Amino acid sequence: MTGTARAGPTTGTPAAIGARLVRIEGPDKVRGAAPYAYEYPVDGVTYCCAVGSTVTRGRVRSTSADAIRQVPGVLEVLWHANAPRLATADGSELAVLQSDRVAYRRQIVAAVVAESFEIATEAARMLEIEYDDEPFAVELRADDPDLYRPDKVNPNFATDTETGDVDGALRSATYGVDHTYRTPAYHNNPMEPHASIAVWHGDELTVFDSNQGASPVRARLAELFGVPPGSVRVVAEHVGGGFGAKGTPRPVVVLTAMAARVVGRPVKMAATREQMFAFVGYRTPTIQRVRLGADADGRIVGISHEVVEQTSTIDEFAEQTAVATRMMYAGANRRTTHRLRRLDVPTPAWMRAPGECPGMYALESAVDELAIASGLDPVELRLRNDPQTDPETGAPFTSRNLAACLRDGSRLFGWTQRHAEPRVQRDGRWLVGTGLAASTYPARARASKATARARRDGGFDVELCAADIGTGARTALTQIAADALGVAPAVVRLRLGDTNFSEAPLAGGSMGTSSWGWAVTRACEGLRARLAEADGSVPVDGLAVEVDTKEEIERREQRPAHAFGAQFAEVRVDEGTGEIRVARLLGVFAVGRIVNPMTARSQLIGGMTMGVSMALLEASLLDREYGDYLNHDLAQYEIATCADVPRVEAHWIDERDDFVNPLGAKGVGEIGIVGTAAAIANATYNATGVRVRDLPIRLEKLIG
C-alpha cells in the first residue's frame, strides 16, 4: 500500500552520537525473545552430531555405519565414503568428510543425523571407526629444521621487513635486551557455541547460523555447494559472541547444510564445548625473540622481533605477530620476521586482536626490560621513542595520540608515586607492584552497502547485513542513522544479520562500526535529501536509498591509521604462596570519536578483562603423547571470573579522526586486550623481582 505524503526529518533534534543509549535489543534478550541460531522454529527438524577422530594423523579405514543406521530414529550416518562431494573441496578445514585423511585429533570424520538430539548423540557415541594411524608431530620448537617462511602474514602483510644495519646497531648500543617470550595456544570460547540450522528447498538453501558476517558465509556456502549466491540465505540476527572464532565459516555450518541435503529435511547442529576446542580455530602459540638496543639517552637504535608459530597441514594461517613492532617505536635499524611450522594440529585462526595481542605482549615486556636496563621511567622511555611518522615508510599517521594516553594514564593512575625498585612496596604479606604497557590496533574500514527506507508511520528502516555479536552494533548504528536523518533514535528501526538485506562486511578487525556506519551515514543522508526534494508533494512510503561505499573508500588518501592506548596495572603477590591478584587496572585510549560511551566502555573493559585471563589463567595444554589439548572444556580451561577481575577503569581522550571515515571513529573491540597482559607481567616483576616471560604467570613460576 502506498502511504500518504509526510514531512521530512525534523530539525533541532539532539545529537544521538555520543549519547549513552542503552542497548536496543536488551529487553528482548532479557525476556528470551531474541532468537539465536539454534532457536529458530523449523518444522520437521532433525539433529546432527559430529564424530571426531581418536587418532592424530592417519586414515579412516572403516566404520560401523551400516549397524548404526539400524538404530531406531537414526536417519543417516555420513563419512567420507558416502558424503556428497563439495564443489570446491580444496583440502581446507571446510572440506568436511571429503577425504579419508586425518590431519589432527578430533577432526570431524563422521556424523550421525537422527530424529532427536539424544538419539544422534548416543548413536555417534556408539559408532566404531577403524584407522590406519601414522606418526605425528605437534610440538612447536624454535629450532625446528622444518620451519618455513610463509608468503604473507594475516591478512596480507609482508612476512619479513628489514631496514638498516640491525645487528650492528644492537652490538653498539649502550643499553640492550635480548629475550625470548612465549605465549601458549588460546581457544575462543564465546558464550554461544557455533550452531546452525539448514533448510533446503530444491537448490535453495536457508541457514540460521551463528557467525560474524552472514554475507561472507553465504558466498562460501554457494561456492561449496555449487549454487548461485542468490540461492543462499543466511540469517544471523543475534549472535552470542565470537572473538574471531566466527569470523569465517567453520565446519559446523558446512556439515549441517550437507546433512540437510542428504536427508531431505531441516537439520540442526551445535558444536559441543569440547568440539569448540577442536575445529573452530584458536590462537597459535608463539615463540618470540625480541632484541632492543638504545643509546645513552634511551633512544632506540635497533629493533629485532623474530616470531615462530604453528599452522596445520591442511591450511595455512600465519598470525601477524610482529607487525605492530614495525610502527610502534622510532628507530632507524629494524627487523621483523615470521616463521611457521606445519604440525598435525587444527588450523589456527583469528582470536581477539590477532597479531597485536601476542606480539605486543612480547614487545612491551621487552620495552619494560629496556627501561630498567637504561634507568629510565617506563613512561619516559616510550615518550622518547614515540614517532610522529611511520618508522618504516615515513608516512604521517592519520592521528597518533599515544603520548596523550601515556600522560593521562600516568596522572589518573598515580604513576609518579610508584617505587621503581622491585620488592619494595608491601602490604602485610602481599608484595605490591605496578606496571604499564602501550597498546595499538589498526583503524580499518571496508566497503559496505546499506539501505535507508521511509515508512508511512513517519519512522525509518535501515537495513544491512551487519552482525551484532554482542558489541552493541545495533544500538550504535541506530544512533548513526538517527543523526544522519536528523531524527530521534526512537523512530529508527535497524534491521541486520540477514543476507536479504544490503551486503556488508563481517564484524572483525575492529572495523564493524567504521565500515557499516559509513554506509549507513551515506544511505540516510541520501534519503534525507530525497525527502527534502519531495517536500510533502508525493507519497513517500517505501521511498528507499541504497548506497555502496566502495568507490568513496577507494578515493580516500591512504595513510597509516591506528588506535592507541596505555594500560596500567597494580598487582599483589602473596610472598609465601605466590598467589597473584590484580588489584587495579586502568586503560586510557585514543580511539577516535566515541559513538556510544556506554557500549564503548563495555568493549574496552571486556578486552582488558580478557587480558587478565591471558596474563594469569588461560593456556591450552598440549599432550605430546596423544597430540591433543588436554583441557578442552571450561572446567579445566581457566578464564577470569568475577573474583579475578579487579576495579577496571576505561577512559579515552578527545579525538576525532576524519581521515579514517566520515564518523571520525576508530574501533574499540580489540585494543583493550592488546597491552593488558604485558602491563600485568611488568607489574608482577615490579612486585616480586621475578621476570616471567612465558604466559600465563602462575604461582609456581614465582616461587620455584
List residues with catalytic annotation: 670
Report the C-alpha gap between 528 and 453 in whole angstroms: 10
Strand order in the sheet with 430-442: 426-427, 430-442, 562-574, 580-590, 647-652
The three cell numbers of residue 294 are 638504545
Query: Residue 233: CB partners within 8 Å, gap ≥ 6?
Result: 204, 205, 206, 207, 218, 498, 499, 500
* Secondary structure of residue 24 in the 3-state scheme: coil
Please name the helix (run of DSSP H) or strand (run of DSSP E) that holds residue 288, with its range, or none. strand 286-294
Q: Are 611 and 568 in contact (CB under 8 A)?
A: no
CA 259/CA 50 separation, integer angstroms: 11
CA gap 326, 153 in Å, rounded: 14
The C-alpha atoms of residue 232 and residue 230 are separated, in whole angstroms, by 5
Cell of 19: 549519547
Measuring CA to CA, how many Å separate 304 from each of 162, 184, 301, 367, 395? 9, 21, 11, 12, 21
> CA separation (Å) from 600 to 19, 117, 603?
11, 39, 5
C-alpha cell at 259: 546433512
Torsion angle (degrees, nearest 10) of CA 32, 232, 470, 594: -140
According to DSSP, residue 575 is labeled T
Cα gap 589→539, rounded to integer Å: 47
User: In terms of DSSP bridges, do strands 544-548 and 161-163 run parallel, antiparallel, or are they unpaired?
Assistant: unpaired
Q: How many CB atoms lie within 10 A of CB 238?
A: 23
d(CA 283, CA 624): 18
Residues 6 or more apart whose Cβ sits within 8 Å of residue 679:
364, 435, 436, 437, 567, 568, 569, 585, 611
33, containing H or E segment? none
Q: Give CA separation, 526 vs 52, 389, 452, 522, 530, in Å.
A: 52, 36, 8, 6, 6
Helix and strand counts by DSSP (H, E) for the chain = 18, 26
Give the 3-state secondary structure of residue 410.
Answer: helix
Three-state SS for 86-132 is CCCCCCCCCCCCCCCEECCCCCEEEEEEECCHHHHHHHHHHCCEEEE
Cα separation, 276 vs 62, in Å, equals 26
323, 157 Cβ separation under 8 angstroms: yes
Cell of 592: 577516535
For residue 579 the three cell numbers come to 598467589
CB 652 within 8 A of CB 586: no
CA distance 250 to 213: 12
Place of cell 650492528: 168
Whether a cis peptide bond, with omega within 30° of 0, leads into 145 is no
